[in-house]
A = this chain, B = another copy of it.
Amino acid sequence: MDRRTELLNCAENVARRRGYDGFSYADLADEVGIRKASIHYHFPSKADLAVALIERYASTFGDALAVIDETSDIASDRLAAYVQSYRRALSGGAKLCLCVAFAISRDSLSEEALAELDAFHASSIIWLTKTFELASKDGSVTHTGDPTEEATALLATVEGAQLVARAANKVADFDQATRLFLSRLA
C-alpha cells in the first residue's frame, strides 16, 4: 500500500472518531511513522486532505451502492443492505460515518470540501428515493409514504442510530434504533 493511501486510511479512521477539528498532522505522523512535515508532501494543506478524504469516501460509498443494486432487484433487500453498511461502518460503536463526523465541523471546512460533502449527501438521497420508488412498485416495504420523505427519514435513522450507538458505546443500540424500520421489510 502506498503512503498516500496509508495516510488516507489513518486520517479517515481518526476523523471518524474525533471529527475534523479533533485530529492533527502530528496524530497521523505518529501513527504512520513519518514526520509531520512529510505529510505536507502528500497533502499540502489540511484542507486538501479533507477534500481527498471526502472524495474517496463518496467514491467508495457509490461503489458499495452499485454492488447492492447488482446483488438484488428487490427494494427491501437493497434497503436492508444499506442499513447494514452503516452498521458495519460503526466498528463496534467507536466510529461514525465520515459525513456525520464532518457535519459538526462544517464551519472549519473549505468551500470545496463542503461542496463535496453536500454532493455526497444529495447522491445518498437520490439513491434512497429511487429505492423507495421501487419499493412502492414491488411492494417489498410496508406502509410506504412519499419516497423522498422516506429517504430523508431513513438517512436520519441510520445516522442517528450511529450517534446513539456511539453515545452508549453499544452496537446493540444501533440495532434497536433500526429494528422498527427493518420490521417493515418483507
Whether A121 lies near B167 (C-beta < 8 A) is: yes
- Assembled-state Cα–Cα distance A108/B180 (Å): 33
Q: Does A164 contact B (CB under 8 A)?
A: yes
Contact with B along A12-46 (1 / 0, CB 8 A): 00000111011000000000000000000000000
**Of A49-57, A67-75, A154-162, which binds chain B?**
A154-162
Whether B166 lies near A163 (C-beta < 8 A) is: no
Known: A19-B105, A168-B121. Is A156-B149 also a contact (CB below 8 A)? Answer: no
Whether B107 lies near A17 (C-beta < 8 A) is: yes
Q: Pick the residue among B99, B101, B121, B180 that contacts A149 (CB under 8 A).
A: B180
Residue of B nearest to A159 (CB): B160
List chain B residues, Cβ under 8 A from A103.
163, 166-167
Q: Does A92 contact B (CB under 8 A)?
A: no
Q: Pick the residue among B18, B19, B106, B155 that contacts A166 (CB under 8 A).
A: B106
List chain B residues, Cβ under 8 A from A108.
18, 22
Residue of A19, A150, A178 most packed against chain B (CB within 10 A): A19
Q: Does A153 contact B (CB under 8 A)?
A: yes
Report which A residues bind B (CB closer than 8 A): 17-19, 21-22, 96, 99-101, 103-108, 117-118, 121, 145, 148-150, 152-153, 155-161, 163-164, 166-168, 173, 176-180, 183
